[in-house]
């Protein structure tokens, strides 16, 4: 066999192998995503609502039935004050009515202070909210905590109004 025949045979074999691996076009393409023109959101998006009402135990149900998903703290403090207690009481009632729901409590701080200090302060704030809810009867095993320190501000700015909004603990219901 000469060199030309050998090259042609090798090329033919390579083409045959790559042709066998080629993807075949689907017989029918799936339909494009459907959008609800009334709201502009995807139909597949889980909002936790059915018609006009929220699904019990969903994030939407939580937000509709508690006074707030967050509590606020004074500067350099993780003390739960009277207003925070009222908010956490409504959260505890909702959590007791929905025993299958687990939550994450996020602790946050304002931009002042070092990263390490604010992570520790956020942790103390998240745990203060968790401990209050546990004292109201919510099993601690249903609550996780995380500290974001100053990494996830609610309000941007370097003034008392922005700082006050960022000193918080937020109870998050998974989707």
What pLDDT does residue 68 have?
96
99-131 pLDDT tens trace: 999 999 999 999 999 999 999 999 999 999 999
Contact 63, 165 (CB under 8 A): no
Give the integer Cα–Cα distance in Å for 128 and 107: 9
Contact 119, 152 (CB under 8 A): no
Residue 40 pLDDT more than 60?
A: no
Confidence of residue 11 (pLDDT cuts 50, 70, 90): confident
Confidence of residue 35 (pLDDT cuts 50, 70, 90): very low
Class of the domain covering 55-172: alpha beta
pTM above 0.85, yes or no: no
Give the integer Cα–Cα distance in Å for 154 and 110: 9
Q: pLDDT: is 85 or 51 the higher one?
A: 85
């Amino acid at each position: 066999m000469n060199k030309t025949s050998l090259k042609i045979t090798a090329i033919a074999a390579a083409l045959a192998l790559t042709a066998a691996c080629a993807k075949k076009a689907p017989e029918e393409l799936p339909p494009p995503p459907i959008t609800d023109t009334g709201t502009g959101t995807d139909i597949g998006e889980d909002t936790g609502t059915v018609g006009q009402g929220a699904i019990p135990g969903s994030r939407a149900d939580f937000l509709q039935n508690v006074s707030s998903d967050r509590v606020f703290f004074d500067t350099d403090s993780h003390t739960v004050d009277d207003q925070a207690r009222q908010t956490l009481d409504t959260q505890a009632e909702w959590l007791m009515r929905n025993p299958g729901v687990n939550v994450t409590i996020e602790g946050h701080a304002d931009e002042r202070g070092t990263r390490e200090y604010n992570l520790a302060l956020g942790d103390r704030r998240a745990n203060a909210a968790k401990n209050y809810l546990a004292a109201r009867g919510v099993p601690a095993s249903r609550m996780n905590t995380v500290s974001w320190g100053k990494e996830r501000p609610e309000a941007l700015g370097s003034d008392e109004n922005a700082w006050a909004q960022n000193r918080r603990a937020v109870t998050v219901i998974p989707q």
